[in-house]
Amino acid sequence: MLRRRARRVQEDDHGDPLDPAQERRVRAVLALGGVPQADLLDGVQQVRLRLLERTANGHEAPRDVSAWAAVVASNLAMDWHRAKRRQERLGERLASLRQPAAHPSGEETSLLSLAVARGLDDLPDPQRQVLVLRFYADLPVRGIAEELGIPEGTVKSRLHTAVRALRARLHEDEVV
């Protein structure tokens, strides 16, 4: 009976797997989970997407779509907090690595450090992140991929592009 009701709701709403009451419940669970108001719509869409993917993969509709959606929304809220904490930690690590050295060893070292810092500032954020994590934090490609939640191939590509751009900048400034 619930499956028939779920199918009827989908047909009535032109393919929308969540009825308005279920959507309100998902929004409430996300909000209570600490997800900011600006991200609630994305969270609701994620729940819809997961329900549609479940159906598309041939799984039966959940017995209680409302309860299932609330659990998924709760998991999404936890994922949101984990991602936020990961970004904050990464920002702290990058900030600590960008602080200037207290005692430069010489004029050449200072000049090179300044040129590298300027070159890093000119790089797009994704390239700067992987470059700093690789050469300042000494993380391997796999570690960077895990830290940023991206594929290893993407890390390698960004590293290659960032090193090439930084090298060109240092040659341009006639530092190296």
Phi, psi of 84, deg, nearest 5 = -65, -45
Burial class (CB in 10 A: 0-12, 13-18, 19+), 129: buried
> Is the predicted pLDDT of residue 3 greater than 50, yes or no?
no
Alpha-carbon distance 139 to 121, whole Å? 20
- pLDDT per residue over 140-157, tens digit each? 899 889 888 899 999 999
Stated pTM of the model: 0.47
User: Percentage of the chain with pLDDT > 90?
Assistant: 18
pLDDT confidence bin for 125, thresholds 50/70/90: confident
